[in-house]
Structure 1
Amino acid sequence: MEDKQMEKAVSRKLTLFCVICGVAVLVLMGATVIRDGEREWKHYQTQYREMLLKMIKKENNPTFYQRVEEMKPEIRQIVVDEWKTVDRCTTCHLGIEDPLFANAKQPFTTHPNPELLKQHPVEKFGCTMCHGGQGLATTYYGSSHQPIDNWPITLVAKGLMQSRCGYCHKDFEAIKADRLIKGRELYKEMHCAGCHLIDGQGGNVGPDLSNFADKDPSNFAYENIEGPHSKQTWVMEHFKDPKRVSPGTPMRAYAMNDDQVECLTSYVLSLTQRGFSRPYSTKVKADFVPHRVDALVPEAGLSVDAEDEAGSNQ
Structure 2
Amino acid sequence: MRSKVIWAALGAAALLAGCAGLASKREQTAEQSHPPIGQFVDVDGTRVHAWVAGSGPDLVLIHGAGGNLRDFTFDLAEKLTDRYRVIAFDRPGLGYTERLPGFGGLNTVEGESPLQQAALLQKAAAQLGVKRPIVLGHSFGGAVALAWGLNAPDDTAALVLLGSVSNPWPGDLGRFYDVTGSALGGATAVPLITVLASQSRIEQSVTDVFTPQKPPKGYVDYIGAPLTLRRESLRANGQQVVTLRPHIVRMSQRYASELTMPVEIIHGDADTTVPLDIHSKPLSEQLKNGKLTVLSGIGHMPHHADPKTTIAAIDRAAARAGLR
Greater relative contact order structure (CA < 8 Å, 6+ sep): 2
Q: What's the TM-score once normalised by structure 1's chain length?
A: 0.26
Task: Tell me which structure has the larger Cα radius of gyration.
Answer: 1
Q: What's the TM-score once normalised by structure 2's chain length?
A: 0.26
